Structures are given as C-alpha cells and as structure tokens.
Amino acid sequence: MASRSLFKQLSRSVYLAEPASRLANGAADAARKGPQMVLILSWMDAQLKHVEKYAETYMKLYPSSSILVVRSNQRDFWQTAAFAKTLSPAIDVLRKEATYPAGPSSRLLVHTFSNGGCLTLKQLNELLRSSPSSANGSADSEPLLKKSSTGIPARAFVFDSCPGLSTLSSTMAAFTAPIKSAFLRYPAMAVVAMVYGVLRLYGVIFRKTPVLQRLSNYLNSPALPSVPRLYLYSPADLLIRHTDVEKHAALARSVVGVQDVRLEKFEGTAHVAHARKEGERYWSAVQRIWDESGKQ
C-alpha cells in the first residue's frame, strides 16, 4: 500500500503504516503537532488504490503519524459478527496507540467516508466500549480501554460524504457501483430494488427503523465522544443527500451538544470526490479542524 515499506495488511480489511521518522527519532516525535495516528474508514467497496491517495496526503501533511486504514464492503452491512472479527487487529492497534482520552489532549484523528465508513466507525466504537481486553483475547495485552469506556478516543471527526439516509436511487447506486458491466449491473439493480422494497415494507409492518436511520442516530448519540466535527459534502452527490448531512450536523449541535461543528459545502463534486476537485480547500479544512480542536 502506497510507498511506505512499513505498510502492512493486518486482516482482509485492516492496514497499518508506521512512519520511519518516528522509528528513527523515538520520543522526540511526541513533540510534533500532528496526530499520533490517523484512522481512515473507507467508503463501501473502495478500491485500495483510491484509499491510498488519502493516506499518501496524510503522510505528506503529518509525516510522523501512523496511518490505520479500515475498508468495508457490502457484506459487512449484513454480516456484522464476521466484520467485528475482521476488525480485531484495528482494535488491538487502537488499544496500543490510543492511550489518551477523547478530547483536546487526544492525538487521534478519525476520517470517515460515506455510510460504509460510518458503519465501520460504529462497529469499532462499540467494540472499544464493550470489550475490556484485547480484541483477539490475548491475556498478555494490556486493556488500555476499560469496559464501558467512552469508545474511540478521538480528538476530532471528519465526515466525508456522510451520513445519509436511504432512498431507492441512492441504494441502487451504492450497491451496484462496483459492477462495471452494464450486462450485470441492470439485473443487479432490479434485485436491489426488490430487496429495498421488501425491507421498507417489513419496516412499515413491524415498525422497524431503517438501518441507515439507526446508523445516523447512533452517530448523534452519547455513544460517540462530543468532540469537534467537520462535514465535507456536496449537493451534487448522488448517493448522499446534502440535506441529510446538514440535518445531521444541526442535530450534533442541538441534541448531542457538540460545540464545534463545521460544514464545508462543495459545489459540483461527486460522492467522495471533493478532495479530487478542490484538494487545497479540502485539506485546509481538515488541518484546521485538527489544529483548532486541540485548543478547546
């Protein structure tokens, strides 16, 4: 992954890079102003080479930071137990590295993409909150995060193209985007539409809250620390409605009590493509939320 020889795959979904500068300089690195670790939670079915672009930019901005990448795919939405097992190496890394509490003193920046990344964020947070020992059950691992802790010890959250609620068009786009062949895509769209209709009907009959609504609610609950948030979004996004993002940000302020909530609205940029079109603006916003979240 990327150009770092130290980037290694820990599971089918988890990748870690530790910077050569920290290994060479040792404790002197602690004085740096950047994050100790950046946690990147990718969009659903993201190709590794595309996620690498964001990791590489972070490496340039914060050369002494570790980069932890977690990818997600479609089956993770339905096979949450298997996904939790896949995430266990990430839990172990966070327990080892993130020994600080959430808030201004934390040195963890969390960058989440799309609803797929939001699902991963929820899973990681719940695993950290509920398990007092290492994710792999090793008795030798020190339980740095105790049971019933506040979860992921972030200093700031960055939400790119998320969270959003489901519509038929957005659901079909999300689940058929990886299919390049039109011959296969159209039958897949029909299947997705049928499943979507069945699930909606099931929800109405049995009064079940839709899965993406539950996910959105979770991200605006006390389960996540009330640290500064940055939302990066666009009205041109065909998968996530900009009104969903704006409503979520407003609720973060009014319901959760997050004092620093920022919205960076891009015009004409597609889903998870804001950095590609307006990179300087995008990364400046990310740097500001990190720098200023440490002053509160």
Regarding predicted confidence, which is higher, 148 or 180? 180
Regarding predicted confidence, which is higher, 18 or 261? 261
Taking residues 233-255, report their average pLDDT.
Answer: 95
Q: Is the pLDDT of residue 145 over 80?
A: no
Q: Is the pLDDT of residue 108 over 80?
A: yes
Render pLDDT for 11-64 as a digit per residue (tens, 0 to 9): 999 999 988 765 555 444 444 589 999 999 999 989 889 999 999 999 999 999
- For the whole model, what pTM was predicted? 0.82
pLDDT at 130: 83
Specify the residue for token string 């539950």: 214
| Length reported for the chain | 296
pLDDT at 186: 61
Regarding predicted confidence, which is higher, 187 or 129? 129
Regarding predicted confidence, which is higher, 102 or 145? 102
Give me 258's structure tokens: 């997050």
pLDDT at 150: 67
Give me 38's structure tokens: 């950046």
Regarding predicted confidence, which is higher, 167 or 254? 254
Q: Is the pLDDT of residue 138 over 60?
A: no
- Half-sphere CA count of 90, side-chain side, radius 13 A: 31
pLDDT at 209: 76
Q: Is the pLDDT of residue 110 over 90?
A: yes
Q: State the DSSP string of 188-221.
A: HHHHHHHHHHHHHHHHHHHTPPPHHHHHHHHHTS
- Residue-averaged pLDDT of the chain: 83
Specify the residue for token string 């990066």: 232
Q: Is the pLDDT of residue 140 over 60?
A: no
Taking residues 164-189, report their average pLDDT.
Answer: 66
Q: Is the pLDDT of residue 73 over 60?
A: yes
- Going by pLDDT thresholds of 50, 70 and 90, the confidence category of residue 205 is confident
Going by C-alpha positions, the residue among 58, 19, 22, 23 that lies closest to residue 40 is: 58
- Going by pLDDT thresholds of 50, 70 and 90, the confidence category of residue 277 is very high
Cα separation, 157 vs 39, whole angstroms: 10
Render pLDDT for 148-170 as a digit per residue (tens, 0 to 9): 456 899 999 999 999 998 665 66
Cα separation, 166 vs 32, whole angstroms: 41
pLDDT at 281: 98
pLDDT at 25: 53
Q: Is the pLDDT of residue 65 over 70?
A: yes
Residue 259 vs residues 175, 201, 224, 226, 290: alpha-carbon distances, Å? 35, 38, 14, 8, 15
Taking residues 71-99, report their average pLDDT.
Answer: 86
Q: Is the pLDDT of residue 286 over 90?
A: yes
Lowest mean pLDDT of 21-25, 89-93, 109-113, name the range. 21-25
